[in-house]
Structure 1
Amino acid sequence: MQSIVTNVGIEARMLGPLHISVNDNRATLSAAKPRTLLALLAINAGRQLSTERLINEIWEEDPPRSAASTLQTYILRIRRLLGDAIGEGPTAVAATLLRTVSGGYALTPDRSWVDVHEFRGLAEQAEMADRRGQTAEAADLYRSAEMLWSGSALIDIEQGPMLRAEVAGLEQTLLCVTERRIAAEMRLGRHRAVLGELASLVARHQFHEDLHAQYMIALHRSGNRSGALEVFHRIRRSMNAELGLEPSRHLRVLQQAIINADSVLELPDQAARTPLSEFPFAS
């Protein structure tokens, strides 16, 4: 039996629509709640999830009296799905892939590939390369992490509290990865190449001051000081009108540096690599 199990590989794609395959055979569920269960098990591959937590994810605060038995039915349905994809039917192999453990269930991590985990791993590798000053390598790794995405994470899945938290964290990490990759691109002198992307990002994140700072610097380095200053005035108007706030001191200092054509803005390793709060002219 063990030799059969080690020849089984599970692939789970969740950075977009849910896609599960076993030995390159697509495993598809149509019912919403079993799909939620499968997504939660896959994103937590190798970790035990208690029956209580699974029930809470699927039904939240309104589980039916039959929740425990219905959950068991969903587990059997997923095992049957895995077995069919293997070509063995609902065999003991599927039960080994999706194990019953004390008080809950766990999807085996053996020979599994989950895009969420690869994304996080690439992001960590990129950050380490960035810290070592390997800018081109960091930019490539950040880009590889971004390319794993094919839409919003688990966009076709009904999400309970655990999946909502996972997705929110992933989306925030993606934004951070994008921001750092753009910073690396700018350190490589590619400020013109990122202008269009930054324009789109600040339109979607109208109060994200670091993205606006990157856009202002990229415009300034591209010879468009007036455009850089207009970006500042636009976020200032938005913050005043909708939040009753002024931009941070750091963003105002950046605006003044652009007005004064401060030479520090022409030093990519100082201006684009560090957070806005650490700009030399912000002191």
Structure 2
Amino acid sequence: MQIDVLGTLDVRENGVSIAPTAPKPRQVLALLALHADRVVPVAALVDELWSGRPPRSVRTTLQTYVLQLRELITLALRSPGPDTGIGAGPGFGPASAAPPPSSGLPVPSVPSGPSASPAGSVRRGAKDVLATVPGGYLLVSGGGTSDVREFERLAGLGYRAMDAGEHKDASRLLGEALLLWTGPAFAGVPAGARLETEARRLEESRLCALDQRIEADLRLGRHRELLAELTVLTSRYATHENLHAQFMLALHRSGRRGEALDVYHRLRTTLVRDLGLEPSPRLRRLQQSILVAAPETPPPAPSRAPAVLALPAARARAGVRPV
């Protein structure tokens, strides 16, 4: 199974999408996919779908959504799969596994549970992929891929490289982790309370990885290369102090001290106006160090440049544990 939630929800079994278009079943699949190979309690699904106001027929309704997902899984399992060149490619629906009516051959029935293949081996049924277990449901990935787990793996390796001073490796690994994101988490899914919380957690993890990738690039002396990216990021995250601090450093080390100070003043204006807060002491110290620096003062060597703002707490909050 291939599970992608860092962008538009896409879950594929046997190379065929099992993502429904109906909103409620889509929510169910999103929560199950995020927690693949772990039991999702019925109570969690009910809370996600109805936010504390479930209908009287809540269990029957939830079972209906699960049945709809299993029907899609069954169609995916009957497909020949992507390796055959038919059935799973563009222009072919899952039902293309069945012989055409004109062939004169009987249309095979689709098993809902395990069955014996011609070779005598047991193949999975829909109830094996989406299993009912005591207290909830379990989406079995069968050792497949998950973009969230791959993101967390690469980010963890990137943090380890960063802590070891291996900034080139850190930049590469964190960059690879960030490339897994194709949009906001669970894009296109009408999220309830639980998915909204998970989406915020994942976004914090993404920002933490982004921050540390930029920090690694600053350590490598890639100041000018970062300017365009940081221009966009500081506009998008108008109160994110660390991104502004990195932008200030990149500008200053590119010989644009006045613009670096302008970035500080814009951030301070936004913080005071919108949040009633002054910039942090660390950011004020950075502003002062740029203010008093002589124009001809060379930038610090990348290998000795201190981190702008250390982020161990941010990593912990983001749910991506540094290794």
Structure 1 unaligned regions, length at least 5: 1-9, 278-283
**Greater helix share, structure number:** 1
Residues of 1 paired with 2:162 and 2:143: CA distance?
A: 30
C-alpha distance in 2, partners of 1:193/1:272? 19
Cross-structure match for 2:175:
143
Of 42, 45, 57 in structure 1, the residue corresponding to residue 33 of structure 2 is: 42
Match of 2:46 among 51, 55, 58: 55
Is it true that 1:73 corresponds to 2:64 in the alignment? yes
| Larger radius of gyration between Structure 1 and Structure 2 | 2
* Distance in 2 (alpha carbons) for counterparts of 1:276 and 1:41: 34
Say whether residues 1:211 and 2:232 are aligned partners.
Answer: no
CA gap of 1:229–1:274, structure 2 versus 1, over 3 A, is closer
1:155 aligns with 2:168: no
Superposition deviation, residue 276 in structure 1: 5.9
Paired residue for 2:283? 251
Q: Are 1:87 and 2:121 an aligned pair? A: no
Query: What amino acid maps onto 1:192 in structure 2?
Result: R
In structure 2, distance between residues paired with 1:66 and 1:121: 41
* 1:166-225 Cα shifts (integer Å, max 9, x gaps): 110100111111110011111111111111111111111111111111000000000100
SS at match of 1:99: strand
Matches within 5 A, 1:125-204: 125-204=157-236
Separation in 2, partners of 1:243, 1:29: 41
Unaligned runs of 5+ in 2: 80-109, 114-124, 312-323
- Cα distance, 1:112 vs structure 2: 2.2
What is the root-mean-square deviation in Å for CA atoms of aligned residues? 1.8
CA contact (8 A) 1:12 1:21 kept: yes
Q: Is the 8 A contact 2:245 2:308 kept in 1?
A: no
Structure 1 counterpart of 2:309, one-letter code: P
The answer to whether the 8 A contact 1:192-1:222 is kept is: yes
Which of 149, 152, 156 is 1:124 aligned to? 156
Question: How do residues 99-110 of structure 1 correspond to structure 2 at under 5 angstroms?
Answer: 99-110=131-142
CA contact (8 A) 2:227 2:250 kept: yes
Q: Return the alpha-carbon distance in structure 2 between the equivalents of residues 276 and 159 of structure 1.
A: 32
Q: Which residue pairs with 1:281 in the alignment? A: none
Give the AA of the match of 2:139.
L
Inter-CA distance 154–90: structure 2 relative to 1 (3 Å threshold) = farther
Q: Which amino acid aligns with 2:67?
A: L
Matched positions, count: 268
Q: Cα distance, 1:165 vs. partner?
A: 1.1
Residue 237 of structure 1 corresponds to 269
Structure 1 residues 255 and 193, CA, compared in 2 at 3 Å: closer, same or farther? same
Specify the code of the residue in structure 1 equivalent to 2:2.
Answer: E
Scaled by the length of structure 1, the TM-score of the pair is 0.90
Query: In 1, distance between residues paired with 2:283 and 2:298?
Result: 15
Larger mean CA deviation between 93-102 and 265-274 belongs to 265-274
Residue identity matched to 1:220: H
Measured in 1, the distance between the counterparts of 2:154 and 2:165 equals 16
Q: Residue 40 of structure 1 contacts residue 163 of structure 1 at CA under 8 Å; is this kept in 2?
A: yes
Partner of 1:12: 3
Q: What is the TM-score when the length of structure 2 is the normalising length?
A: 0.79
- Percent of pairs with identical residues: 41
Indicate conservation of the 8 Å contact 2:9/2:19, yes or no.
no
Deviation at 1:231, TM superposition (A): 0.5
